[in-house]
Chain A
Amino acid sequence: MSRGIAWQGVWTVLVFAFILTPIASLVFFSFNADRFPSLPWGGFSLEWYRAIFADDTVRAGFWRSIQVSAFVAVVATFIGFATAYTDYRYNFRGKMPYLAIAALPPTVPVLILGLGMLSFFSMVNLVGTLRAVMFGHVVICAPFAMALIRMRLADMSPDIEPAAWNLGASRWATMWRVTIPWCLPSIIASLAITAAVSFDEFMIAWFVSGLEETLPVRILALLQGQVSPRINAIGSLVFFISITLAAIGQLFASRKESTA
């Protein structure tokens, strides 16, 4: 039996290795002095990092991505919270279709969303603006926020809000003093995760950002050209930021305080 388990364990390690290889390779070679990332190792160097920090287009793209992520994190989390709360507290005619619309975006291929948004935004003259990217990203990020916060609300005892109302707190006061504090870990997790998703998103950005390229769009442009070691550096940087955000998100999402 233990032979079987060992075999399974090895398989699992191999699968994880497959998943993590591209990331490891990226970080590894971003410090490689050689132009082309391969063996043998060419020596340690920070040249490529210096190069990207000096590159204006990369810096501009980075800054734009930060702006977009910040906006998206806040708006998507707000919408996600509102939808999760509506699902938690209310029953109404049309609730099913309502939730379906709110939860559907991740199931539609991003490419098609990109096409649709390109057409839509071009009709309202928003193509080529960061606003278009922001609005589009909120569409795909809000469902994540909704799921995270809905799970947290599910853990809140059903008597808690009525108890607050009963003690004299109006619904707004209850929301502010009871519900939101309870949801705070998930709200923070949502902010982090939605920021991460937006920061990495390239398809919608590629379609609608025009010349206002976000960082992933810049990467896409570089990708179409020659192999450039700069991409390793950019990629590692992007990876580092995303993993930090994702780790924060996971940390807060798994906080479990028991209900009273």
Chain B
Amino acid sequence: MTAPILSLNSVTKMFGDAVALEPLDLAVTKGEFIALMGPSGCGKSTTLRMIAGLEQPTSGAIKLWERDITDLPPWERHMPMVWQSYALFPFMTVRQNVEFGLKEQRKFTAPDRRKKAEEWMARLEIEGFAARPVQKLSGGQRQRVALARALALEPEILLLDEPLSALDAHLRLQMQGELRRLHAELGITFVYVTHSQSEAFSMADRVAILSEGKLQQIGSAREVYAAPANRFVAEFVGASTILTGTAKGDGVIETPVGTFHATGGHAPSAGASATFLVPSNLVDLSASKSGAANEVHAELLTEEFTGAFVTLHLKLADGSLMKVQTQQSDLDRLGLNVGAHIYASWAADAAYILEGE
């Protein structure tokens, strides 16, 4: 097994007395697209800044291949970053921005530099604005300049700090596709920070989920989705209903809204409290009691039409909420309206028991 291109060994960060990051171990493989994600304040941006050298870890080491770079200043790390605010130099043109890092490298003559800059501007389809001052560009265009500027340095590792959050939804989706394409074409390692689960899932090979300075889970998107490590991850990843009850042994769990069979995930001992997930897209609906093994009676609260499917919010007997994803066609077939009574059921192996509580 080859060494990881980037590794964080027990890296922590404190700001005064406040813990921003608890000991974090992370190994990034060469060429992978890894996303650090989590809610605001979880430590993902702090981690990225430490990788870039813009913050100093309070303890722990950061290594590039086998080399300890913890004390290396940012200008010697060769890990260009694409910033959330783009951070383009305001008094320079697009070309000057893109050439900035190249100029510092001193291994190019002016004509070579220009050629390389043109190459990358063309790749990001901004060669038309080369001479334009960056003030005059739209958000999407600035985004591309920021990318070109970073990629022109042809680094081994590219850092991205929520680069798409300032774009509108349509542009964002478009850029997600472009970033995936670039990653595949260039074979560079991408370390990507975001608070958006959908962004991370659609682009990354692996996702690392952080909350309040602690790493909650790391794995591929599918792994994390199918087998969340704990309640936080399950909720963050989002498309499941979470039910809590007492285990009775043999996968039987007694909850306030009924007794269910759950065979996926962990196996709590009898008497322990247990939490399990019901993925929204694996729930069947019927207008009347179908007699299935895991079934609950619910009241339809709201419908959210998102185009590809409809998300329904159901209220269960004890007041808790259940999320169900279904097709519009199913809804039509059932002829349901808000306030209607409905029965939701799922297979025992669709339910996934979380570790602990």
A–B contact (CB under 8 angstroms): yes
| Residue A167 is within 8 A (CB to CB) of chain B in the complex | yes
Q: Give the distance in Å from the alpha carbon of A163 to the alpha carbon of B103 in the complex.
A: 14
Q: Give, as a whole number of angstroms, the nearest-CB distance from A152 to chain B.
A: 12
Q: Give the distance in Å from the alpha carbon of A159 to the alpha carbon of B52 in the complex.
A: 13
CB atoms of A167 and B135 under 8 A apart: no
CB atoms of B80 and A167 under 8 A apart: yes
Q: Give the distance in Å from the alpha carbon of A196 to the alpha carbon of B123 in the complex.
A: 52
Partner of A259, one of B83, B90, B100: B90
| Residue A181 is within 8 A (CB to CB) of chain B in the complex | yes
User: Main secondary structure on chain A at its contact with chain B?
Assistant: helix
CB atoms of A166 and B135 under 8 A apart: no
| Residue B88 is within 8 A (CB to CB) of chain A in the complex | yes
| Residue A160 is within 8 A (CB to CB) of chain B in the complex | yes
Q: Give, as a whole number of angstroms, the nearest-CB distance from B104 to chain A.
A: 4
Which chain A positions have C-beta within 8 A of B149?
167
Q: Give the distance in Å from the alpha carbon of A169 to the alpha carbon of B87 in the complex.
A: 14
Instruction: With A182-B91, A257-B91, A260-B89 as known contacts, state yes or no: A168 contacts B105, CB within 8 Å.
Output: yes
Interface magnitude class on chain B: 20 to 34
CB atoms of B74 and A165 under 8 A apart: yes
CB atoms of B75 and A168 under 8 A apart: yes
Q: Kindly supply a per-residue 1/0 record for chain B positions 52-75, scoring 1 wherever the CB is within 8 Å of any chain A CB and 0 otherwise.
A: 111000000000000000000111
Q: Give, as a whole number of angstroms, the nearest-CB distance from A124 to chain B.
A: 41
CB atoms of B85 and A159 under 8 A apart: yes
Q: Give the distance in Å from the alpha carbon of A162 to the alpha carbon of B45 in the complex.
A: 14
Which chain A positions have C-beta within 8 A of B74?
162, 165-166
Q: Give, as a whole number of angstroms, the nearest-CB distance from A259 to chain B.
A: 5
Q: Give, as a whole number of angstroms, the nearest-CB distance from A48 to chain B.
A: 47
Which chain A positions have C-beta within 8 A of B100?
164, 167, 169, 177
Q: Which of B196-227 contact A (CB under 8 A)?
A: none
Partner of B75, one of A157, A170, A181, A259: A170
Q: Give the distance in Å from the alpha carbon of A131 to the alpha carbon of B78 in the complex.
A: 48
CB atoms of A167 and B54 under 8 A apart: no
| Residue A220 is within 8 A (CB to CB) of chain B in the complex | no
CB atoms of A260 and B90 under 8 A apart: yes
Q: Give the distance in Å from the alpha carbon of A258 to the alpha carbon of B105 in the complex.
A: 28
Q: Give, as a whole number of angstroms, the nearest-CB distance from B299 to chain A.
A: 49
Q: Give the distance in Å from the alpha carbon of A177 to the alpha carbon of B92 in the complex.
A: 10
Which chain B positions have C-beta within 8 A of A177?
100, 103
Q: Give, as a whole number of angstroms, the nearest-CB distance from A151 to chain B.
A: 16
| Residue A66 is within 8 A (CB to CB) of chain B in the complex | no
| Residue A173 is within 8 A (CB to CB) of chain B in the complex | yes
Which chain B positions have C-beta within 8 A of A164?
89, 100
Which chain A positions have C-beta within 8 A of B76?
168
Which chain A positions have C-beta within 8 A of B85?
157, 159
Q: Which of A90-128 contact B (CB under 8 A)?
A: none
Q: Give the distance in Å from the alpha carbon of A220 to the alpha carbon of B89 in the complex.
A: 50
Q: Give, as a whole number of angstroms, the nearest-CB distance from A4 to chain B.
A: 42
Instruction: With A168-B78, A260-B135 as known contacts, state yes or no: A162 contacts B104, CB within 8 Å.
Output: no
Q: Give, as a whole number of angstroms, the nearest-CB distance from B141 to chain A.
A: 11
Q: Give the distance in Å from the alpha carbon of A63 to the alpha carbon of B301 in the complex.
A: 86
Which chain B positions have C-beta within 8 A of A259?
90
Instruction: With A164-B100, A166-B54, A168-B153 as known contacts, state yes or no: A159 contacts B90, CB within 8 Å.
Output: no
**Further 9 A-B residue pairs, CB within 8 A, beyond A163-B81, A168-B76:** A163-B83, A163-B87, A166-B52, A166-B77, A167-B80, A167-B149, A168-B75, A170-B75, A259-B90
Cross-chain pairs A/B with CB under 8 angstroms, 23 sampled? A160-B87, A162-B87, A163-B87, A164-B89, A164-B100, A165-B54, A165-B75, A166-B52, A166-B79, A167-B80, A167-B100, A167-B101, A167-B104, A168-B76, A168-B78, A168-B153, A169-B100, A169-B101, A177-B103, A181-B91, A260-B87, A260-B134, A260-B142
